Copies of this chain bind each other. A is one copy, B any other.
Amino acid sequence: MPDLYFTPGPTALYFTAEEHIKTALKTGVVNTSHRGQQFKDIYKACADNLKLLMEIPDSFHVLITSSANEAWERIIQNCVRSDSYHISNGPFASRIEKIASQLQKNTHNLKVQDGKVPSLEEIKVPEAAEIITICLNESGTGAAFPLQLIEELRNKYPDKLMAIDGVSALPVVPVDFNSIDTIYFSVQKAFGLPAGLGIWIVNDRCVEKAQKLAAEGVMIGSYHQLPEMVEKAAEYQTLETPNILGIFTLAKVAEDMLTKGILAIRREIDYKAAILNIAVEEHPQMEHFVKEANVRSKTVSVIKTDFENTQLIKYLKEKHIHIGTGYGKYKPEHIRIANFPTHSKEQMEMLVDLITAYRG
């Protein structure tokens, strides 16, 4: 059996990705100039397909970065003059607050217990804060930020920019783009591509903010200043030579997802999450780290085991199935299982059967 990756990322490639990479190698995609028409067509297809797939309004721009890390940096540089507000309910959610501190912004940090999501009342955004940052799918702990709460925050704080970390959530989680200003993801999670590419989606409020900061003399970066990126993107161009192979493969995988249908993909994710959840609940030696079912991630399950997790990981590996360890301090006590569009129902059923029968 070929190896099966349920790791939270890098993970299994989307089942069509390998063929698209081979096509790229055969058809000159990797040789073409990033200033030529062939590249423009690739970038346009990528942006168009992503917009269709996630119902992204035309008022948003689809930009190319190297990683979600870069998107964190560019958002803070371009959208924050002095004050930022961060909802930090896990290691990944917290990372953008660290970046804002490193960029010498005045950060306001709501530290939330791991595995939890704050209530609307707990979220008190100070007047000075220009942006609210939220992690949609905290893959370190398995907590999913409720879409309803994003909408409520938008209504409560209409003047603040809403910046959403969509890594390991997009395109599965149906984000309402009217409630947000910017969102980003890296491709090695739910899109199932080789790592080394990030997508940064921004609206004009973000661009105008960056222009305003630049006019005031605030430093907004160098070769990846937001206004210049947007200007180039309007002609399907980038400022540097980008990961053309990655952009091509993403365009093709998004097209394949459109052909399958995003609703079908989301239904399958629901089914796979449901059978995994039941298996965990019925297992005498396992429990969900996130107690409240309504804020539990469907795409990355974080499970506490009352036995040595390395035993189970090794047992599955012998059967060519790879799952993740816990993240950071939870490394020895959690396992993490990804449920991405590339994972078939049959694959998840097989994994669930093995976990159900396993005793530590």
Among A32, A72, A225, the one with the most B-chain Cβ atoms within 10 Å of its Cβ is A32
> Within the assembled complex, what's the spacing in Å between the Cα atoms of A217 and B230?
31
Chain B residues with CB under 8 A of A67: 66, 240-242
The answer on a CB contact under 8 Å between A18 and B10 is no
CB distance from A351 to the nearest CB of B (A): 16
Give the residue name and chain of the B residue nearest to A98 (CB).
B222
The answer on a CB contact under 8 Å between B13 and A30 is yes
The answer on a CB contact under 8 Å between A10 and B25 is no
State whether the Cβ of A294 lies closer than 8 Å to any Cβ in chain B: no
CB < 8 Å neighbour of A241 from B9, B95, B98, B240: B9
The answer on a CB contact under 8 Å between B25 and A7 is no
CB distance from A80 to the nearest CB of B (A): 12
CB < 8 Å neighbour of A196 from B70, B104, B222, B243: B243
The answer on a CB contact under 8 Å between A242 and B103 is no
29 CB-based A-B contacts, threshold 8 Å:
A3-B28, A7-B31, A10-B30, A11-B31, A21-B25, A30-B194, A30-B195, A31-B322, A66-B66, A66-B67, A66-B243, A67-B241, A70-B240, A72-B223, A95-B223, A99-B222, A99-B223, A102-B219, A102-B223, A102-B225, A103-B219, A186-B241, A194-B243, A195-B245, A196-B196, A196-B242, A196-B243, A196-B246, A197-B243
Interface string of A102-123 (1 = CB under 8 A from B): 1110000000000000000000
The answer on a CB contact under 8 Å between B221 and A10 is no
> Within the assembled complex, what's the spacing in Å between the Cα atoms of A103 and B322?
44
Chain B residues with CB under 8 A of A69: 223-224, 239-240
Chain B residues with CB under 8 A of A268: none
Chain B residues with CB under 8 A of A22: 22
